[in-house]
Structure formats: structure tokens, C-alpha cells
Amino acid sequence: MLVLIGGYSNLSRTIAFRAPQQWQPPKNDSALRVFTWNVQYFGSIEAGTYMDTEMIALIADYEPDVVCMQEFSNTENGSRRASIREEMNALGYKFYFFSNDRVIRPKNATVTDGVAIFSKFPFTDSARININKEQNENLIYTSVLFKNKPLRIYTGHLASFDLYKDTASSEKDIYQITYDRKTAIQYKLRETEQLHQREVSIISNSISKSPYPLIYLGDMNITPCSYNYRLLRNNFQDAFLEKGSGVGATFYKILPTLRIDVCFADTSFQINQCTVVKRRLSDHYPLVTDISWK
């Protein structure tokens, strides 16, 4: 009982204590549907092939108004890769903004990596804010008019831990690798958490200057039990806790309980519904949320 009482605050941030609700595909006219997904550069680790066609089709199925992507990659004029921008444009997402973390130009093509926002609504402004100089990762935001009121949409990707980046070809399971290099992993965890704190401080500072109510969507690479989650969430609503059910894991590679992708919404909004889409096309599941003005 003491353990449960002591850990209640962490449990309340991790688990949505609510009976499962059926997702309602038809969107209410008063609602804005937002969709966030770490798309893993549109690649499938298991198959070793590109999955962009299936992933774009999944987005089309949910018909969101705004789509935020992390670990995003777009190729223009490529001989083997279709342009994600063009595919999204064909679905009605005429407006887009990329973080341009990395831009390379092999032959006649242009490849852009980072995070991205696609929208069916025109942008009234947009900006990039660097949050990680070493890895050149940028936070981005765009502002739109929804029901004649301005709102701002942020998306970002906090630094990956990269604990097992060099073990892809190892025959050991992940738990054995962790045990074998436990000291090194402890240091890496500490260093990355410190980096996350610097990144979150920059994001929070930018958010505090927003002249409009806002929504933050992105891959935090940290769990709801962490200090940095609490720091970034601040007084915002966690959409999954408001209208989701259960653990709501969004990353399934290590443990089936890791909810590291979020939708934080200003208190000016009402959360209508929120769900995690359990489709293994990336190493993350997408999170989709309907919100409306209060």
C-alpha cells in the first residue's frame, strides 16, 4: 500500500484510468483532428523496405486536419523515392513546413530530414528554433486559423538515447546487452536526460512566448514519469490522459509500456477523443486526437 501511495503521481501520469472508448471516425464539424507520428524515415526495420505507401494510406484513413511527423525524410526529384510532400499534397495537405535539420543533394535529388508539419489550413506564420546544436535538431511551429481563431502548433523530437545503435547485428537479446554494458548505459542515460532538460527548457521558453493558444505534438523520447515530461507538460492537458484508456504505449521496440509520443493541449481546448493507432509500420505508433474550442 505504501508503494502504491508513493507511486500514485507517476501512475496517474502513465495510465489513463478510463474504460476503453470506441474511436469515432466521423469528425465533428467543431473539432480539429491532429495526428502525430514518428515515421522512422518511412522505413521498416523488419522488412528492410520502404513503407511510405502504407503509411500515407493510414494517414488518409484517419483524415486529420494537421499531421506532425518526426524522424521525417522527404526526397525531391529522386529516382527511387517518391516525394512525401507530393503524396501529402494529393491528400489535401497543401501547406507544409519542414525543420530542415539535414539537407543533402545527391545527384539531382534533394533530401530533407527532421520534423514536419502538414496542414489543410494555410499558415499565418512559422519558425524554426534550434534545440540541439550537436545533432542540429530543430523545433518548429506554425500558426493557423481554426473557426476564425488563431492557434499555434508545435512539433519536435527530443534527442534519442541511442543505447543500442551499435548492436543491430548482435545475436544477444536486448536484456543481455543491457546487463553486459550496464555501467556505460547508466552514464548514457544520465547524459541524455541532461540534454533533454536543455532541450525542454528551450521548448518551454518558446511556448511561453506564444501569443495564441497552442498544441504541442511530438516524440519526447522520455516517459511520463520523468522530470522533463512534467517540465514540458506544465499546465497543459495531456490528451491521452484526458480521453485515452490504459497505458497507451507508442513505442513497442523495447517494452510494451512506453508512451513517449504526446499531444499537449492548451486549456482553451476541449479534448474530444484520443487514441493510439496500433499499426506496426514504424517503430512508433501514431497518436490521433480531436480537439475543439471550449
Could you tell me the domains of the chain?
32-293 (3.60.10.10)
CA proximity to 31, closest of 213, 270, 263 = 270
Query: Which residue is listed with cell 502538414?
Result: 118
Q: Average the pLDDT over 260-287 and give the result.
A: 96
Instruction: Provide, rounded to the nearest whole percent, the portion of the chain with pLDDT above 70.
Output: 87
DSSP count for the chain of H helices, then E strands = 8, 13
pLDDT in tens, 44-72: 544 445 678 899 999 999 999 999 999 99
DSSP state of 262: E
In this structure, of 81-95, 153-167, 170-184, the range with the lowest mean pLDDT score is 170-184
| pLDDT for res 186 | 67
| pLDDT for res 1 | 74
Instruction: Provide, rounded to the nearest whole percent, the portion of the chain with pLDDT above 90.
Output: 69
pLDDT in tens, 250-267: 998 777 789 999 999 999
Q: In what order do the strands lie in the sheet with 261-265?
A: 123-132, 137-146, 149-157, 214-219, 261-265, 237-238
User: Mapping DSSP to helix (H, G, I), strand (E, B) and coil, where does residue 11 land?
Assistant: helix
pLDDT band at 173 (very low <50, low <70, confident <90, very high): low
Q: Average the pLDDT over 68-93 and give the result.
A: 93
Query: How many angstroms separate the first and last alpha carbons of the chain?
Result: 39
pLDDT over 80 at 171, yes or no:
no
pLDDT over 70 at 22, yes or no:
yes
| Arithmetic mean of pLDDT over the chain | 89
Beta strand 123-132 with 137-146 is antiparallel
